[in-house]
Chains A and B, each alone.
Chain A
């Protein structure tokens, strides 16, 4: 059993499982949307002194921060008890494209060229991790949601704003992938 679930999961099973997570939260009286946690973290750290955007009772969202703590634990469990040794089985075309940028074929889940701790002071890391993280935090709050809040919860509820947001996600992602990455590496 453990050996079976330790293999990478197929897309259809993964998609079903994500829908289950969303409906568990819905039946708990909450909603599935992750990026608000960055706002709660700002509010919990005293952000109200700087902007009334952070002046609210963040403690009433402690369920969301508990969910966040769980996700860290889930990653830890997956890496310690449910691992398969192989690198991510991405397509040959992607391996070729990334090779041109100097990124070697996967040997794990994340490329050492971007997330290796010995690379912390290199330009690609500073741009991709430091700037990339900033844009994620800024953009999700401006858009009012991320992949979970807009692409999954919002589209499931047939919200036009969420469709516009998802189109934005892809405009940005395509610009980074095809125009910026060749400049960064």
Chain B
């Protein structure tokens, strides 16, 4: 199996690479690249993302043909993709970080700032929070409800169709923290930084 972690210069992805290497060992041919042909020939894709919604979308669009290739991979070929953090957020139609920015539009919805209730909640939402699983999924195999995951973000994805929501986490409100739509998976938390339980999610994705 060939899995590609898309390296589109969206910030620090070494932790994502390290965690996949740890889980995949020799079983998987792991590529870290933005090469379109390599992406096309992959079985699965990981789309990380750090920084702002706008900076990630801009970085993605800077690489000629990347958005189209990803689109073809997920929407036409229906092959599995895992978005992490802003990688998930980019599934949305629109993001409102810095300025209104068009996303990939794979899962209808928007990305807006977490309501901090006039400073009652500190932002970014940094640290370990429990996930409340609302719907079973293959990527949650052997993951218990209320498991702790590591979060770092100030913006949240609000999908239009609530059926795509796999899990939420409680911070100011019930924040969507995992989604699934057919072959598209995403986590707002960082499985690569969530200790053994996070690595389990990565293993589940690899074994899909």
A, B bound: no
- Which residues of A come within 8 Å of B, CB atoms? none
- Which residues of B come within 8 Å of A, CB atoms? none
